[in-house]
Amino acid sequence: MSPHLRKKYRALPSHFRKTGHQECSMDKDYFNILIVGHTTFGIRNLRIKKETFKILIYLLAFFQLAVMFSLCDYIQVKKKSILLNQLRQESLIQKATIQLFSTKVEELERHLTKLKDFDQTIRSIANLGRGHEATPLIGMGGSPSPVIAWKLKEEPKRSE
């Protein structure tokens, strides 16, 4: 054997060099992991009991499920946050539109009061009185004006 191979052979743990029957039965309870590093570090052996390995696998599976659940929950919260921000922006736009509409309605009400005042001023100058209130009553079956009442009285006399 070359000197280089002898170094590696010496670096191997003793249970790899021996092939006894007892060693093989004990190795069934363990997982052996060989870690090969640089030549200066040699080969390292890591022995893990099967029960410990199973526990580690279960913990890893649980951790993976917990991370997946947290990630899914985080994605749902982010989606809801984006939707909430959109709704807030829409709400601000609607508030601005309502404010603009309210301002326009107030402006129209001011113009209507000015028009009413102007109408009353014109009626008082023309000495017409309140013609707006009397006119709708005629069309609704209210009391007729004196001219119409006089014509209605004359019509039955003509038909006789």
- Alpha-carbon span 157 to 160, nearest angstrom: 5
Q: What is the residue extent of each domain of the chain? A: 3-119
> Does residue 107 register a pLDDT over 60?
yes
Q: Is the entire prediction scored with pTM above 0.75?
A: no
- Highest averaged pLDDT of the listed ranges 10-19, 92-101, 133-142, 148-157: 92-101
Binned at pLDDT 50, 70 and 90, residue 69 comes out as very high
The CA R_g of the chain, rounded to the nearest whole Å, is: 51
Say whether pLDDT at 105 is over 60. yes
- Please tell me the distance from the alpha carbon of residue 59 to that of residue 64, in angstroms, as a whole number: 8
Judged against a pLDDT cut of 50, whether residue 61 lies above it is answered with yes
**d(Cα 30, Cα 27) in Å, to the nearest integer?**
5
Confirm if 47 and 32 have CB atoms less than 8 A apart. Answer: yes
**What pLDDT score was predicted for residue 22?**
45
